[in-house]
Amino acid sequence: MTFPTQLFIDGTYRDSASGGRTTLVNPASEEPFAEVAAAAVADVNAAVESAHRAWESGWRDLSRRDFERISIMLIEPVSST
């Protein structure tokens, strides 16, 4: 199974604005297991702006139950792999 190695910002996967990459290391074995995009300041700013837009467009008004339901729907595909 493969997983995206790009940043997920504003509903899409994208490379880092700087093109930077970083290696992920398994802390138990100290072996590298993936290379992923390394967020630059521009990427962090874009993610914060996207999150703010989502918050303003209705996320802040969700009931706790709806928020939990949506969160579980997003987590289930990842946790079942």
Task: Using the structure block, give the residue that is written with the tokens 């997920």.
Answer: 8
pLDDT in tens, 7-50: 999 989 999 999 999 999 999 999 999 999 999 999 999 999 99
Of 42, 50, 58, 66, the residue nearest 11 (C-alpha): 50
pTM above 0.75, yes or no: no
As a whole number of angstroms, the distance between CA 54 and CA 58 comes to: 7
- Give the confidence band of 79 by pLDDT, cuts at 50, 70, 90: low
What does the pLDDT read at residue 71?
Answer: 86
Strand runs labelled E in the chain:
7-9, 12-14, 21-25, 32-37
The domain ranges of the chain are: 7-79
